[in-house]
Amino acid sequence: MKILVTGGAGFIGGNFVLYMVNQYPEDTIVNLDALTYAGNLETLKSVEDKPNYKFVKGDIADHAFIDQLFKDEQFDAVVNFAAESHVDRSITDPGIFVKTNILGTQVLLDASKKYGVKRYHQVSTDEVYGDLPLDRLDLFFTEETPLHTSSPYSASKAGADLLVLAYHRTFQMPVTISRCSNNYGPYHFPEKLIPLMISRALNDQSLPVYGKGENVRDWLHVYDHCVAIDLILRRGRIGEVYNIGGHNERTNLEVVQTILRELNRPETLIQYVTDRKGHDLRYAIDPTKIETELNWKPKYNFDTGIKQTIQWYLDNKAWWQNILSGEYSHYFENQYTDLHKKSTVR
Ligand code: NAD
Ligand code: DAU
């Protein structure tokens, strides 16, 4: 198979490319990425010279470019990870989210239709379901939960999902969609909660917790997400949505406290800052469908996964320190203005 992976220089796409290139030497993996602030080819150093791997720089929303690429390469399958992925950035600048996440998906769908791609997989998110109340621990997102988005990010991802399902119904395109909970693990960009807290704790800097830190996320190690997508790509039923999650719900405060404990740093580093606008309260996935239909089971639970992840950040300081010293530092200054006012940075 020749598989197009879009967004393969990002966090999950990068982990997926590494997994697929090593797991399936007989397949060819073409990684298409625009190399936005979130794309990093350092992640792919270990596979860049492999004969079954190729990198192409380009924008999924560029119709002419995508058409030519599909014509030249004749892909068998497409896995679309490429997206603007950070909720906070979608609150300050929604336009690029609509362009990449919705228009980009439509451009990929058109090219997949025109050139007869045999399987199109859309990497979506549990955020399309909105949120659950904090006091109803009996509730979970299933594939039948109505879409009910909160942020420009989640609205753009839901728009993309609806387009994918429309291309299936209208044009009988062979599509699948996965909706995963929060990922963590190696190569995670340090603007997101877990890598932000690890990198700042290691530098003895204050840790900005939104609101009271009581919002709940359902954490899944990125390796388990990659395995699930591979299974859906090969054995998932066409036209179906699969939720992915491993029942690892934690409040944000619990996550930060765990990181501080593992790194032997004091809780006085925690600083409560202004809450995120429209902040979703709780995400929690019911993974019954993928477990029963595809026999998927996660390898990591949060306790084992977070230890492995922290060790990775300790062993790979150059990877994240390069990011922190670049363009990202300006984003941090603008995003966390009240952190600086009351800074406890040592
Ligand atoms: P990321 O921000 O780390 O990576 C996104 C990648 O897409 C980057 O390499 C970037 O350069 C590339 N990209 C952005 N715009 C592009 C464009 N127009 N054309 C081509 N490439 C472009 O994101 P991530 O966290 O790895 O998320 C990947 C996918 O998984 C996204 O679709 C996201 O919605 C979804 N998802 C993420 C999580 C999570 O917890 N991170 C959970 C569920 C689903
Ligand atoms: O659920 C899947 C989603 O998970 C993906 O679709 C998104 O692409 C991904 O970014 C992630 O979204 P979240 O908004 O849940 O992740 P983030 O790491 O930004 O925040 C996790 C929680 O931590 C959230 O409740 C907000 C909080 N937070 C985040 C940051 C960056 C803080 O308290 N402080 C922070 O500085």
Active site residue 127: yes
- Residue 63's pLDDT is 98
283 lines ligand 2 (CB under 6 A): yes
- Residue 339's pLDDT is 76
Write down the pTM of the prediction: 0.97
**Nearest atom in ligand 1 to 153's CA:** 34
Half-sphere exposure of 27 (CA within 13 A, CB side): 22
- Report how far apart the first and last C-alpha atoms of the chain are (Å, whole number): 52
Backbone angle region of 195, left / alpha / beta, with phi > 0 → left and psi within -120 to 50 → alpha: alpha
- Residue 327's pLDDT is 80
- Distances in Å between the Cα of 105 and the Cα atoms of 30, 190, 244, 263, 321 are 17, 26, 21, 40, 32
101 lines ligand 1 (CB under 6 A): no
Angle at 290 between CA 286 and CA 291, to 5 degrees: 85
The catalytically annotated residue of 59, 126, 161, 224 is 126
Q: Whose CA is nearest to atom 5 of ligand 1?
A: 10
- Residue 341's pLDDT is 56
Distance 137 CA to ligand 2 centre (A): 20
The catalytically annotated residue of 33, 59, 84, 127 is 127
Nearest-angstrom CA–CA distance, 105 and 82: 9
* Structure tokens that stand for 84 in this block: 């603007």
In the chain, which stretches have pLDDT less than 70?
A: 340-346
294 near 235, Cβ under 8 Å? yes
- Residue 51's pLDDT is 98
Nearest to 292 by CA among 224, 243, 248: 243
